[in-house]
Structures are given as structure tokens and as C-alpha cells.
């Protein structure tokens, strides 16, 4: 999250991360992306709406500086 505290990176809306190798990811379409982590940039020029990606775990920083998972 410190990366997103720098205005220099406000062109990045979010980062999608997965710690598993693609080969180890689910191949069933309804389960694809379950192991993804989406981290929103609170300073993004063009922020993505919460819930934009219908998969994985989603993290966001609120106006008080608290970081929480919303899914």
C-alpha cells in the first residue's frame, strides 16, 4: 500500500496480484480469479468502482487511512 501513497503513481487505478503460478490457478471458469488479490489505489486519477472485478479478494483504503478487505 505504500506504493499508492505517492502521487507519482496516480495513473495506476489498482493492482491485481496472484501468488500462485498460472498453472496452479483454477481452470473452471466459475472459479477463475478466486486466488487473485485486487488492491485499489486511493489516489488514482481514475479510480475503479468497488466491486469492479467480480473475483478474488479486494482491498481498499478508506478516508481515515484504514485498509480493509471488502470481500
Give CA–CA dist 70/49, Å, rounded: 12
Whole-structure pTM value = 0.79
- Count of domains forming the chain: 1
Quote the pLDDT of residue 53. Answer: 87
Quote the pLDDT of residue 59. Answer: 92
Quote the pLDDT of residue 67. Answer: 86
pLDDT single digits (tens) 3-43: 888 999 999 999 999 887 767 777 776 777 788 899 999 99
Quick one: CA dihedral 62, 68, 69, 70, positive or negative?
A: negative
Closest CA to 58 of 32, 37, 33, 30: 37
pLDDT single digits (tens) 49-63: 999 988 889 999 888
Quote the pLDDT of residue 22. Answer: 67
Q: Are 61 and 30 in contact (CB under 8 A)?
A: no
Q: Are 41 and 12 in contact (CB under 8 A)?
A: yes
Range of the domain at 43: 2-69
Amino acid at each position: 500500500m505504500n506504493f499508492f501513497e505517492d502521487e507519482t503513481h496516480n495513473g495506476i487505478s489498482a493492482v491485481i496480484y496472484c501468488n500462485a503460478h498460472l498453472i496452479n490457478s483454477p481452470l473452471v471458469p466459475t472459479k477463475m480469479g478466486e486466488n487473485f488479490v485486487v488492491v485499489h489505489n486511493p489516489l488514482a486519477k481514475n479510480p475503479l468502482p468497488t466491486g469492479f472485478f467480480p473475483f478474488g479478494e479486494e482491498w481498499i483504503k478508506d478516508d481515515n487511512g484504514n485498509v480493509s478487505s471488502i470481500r
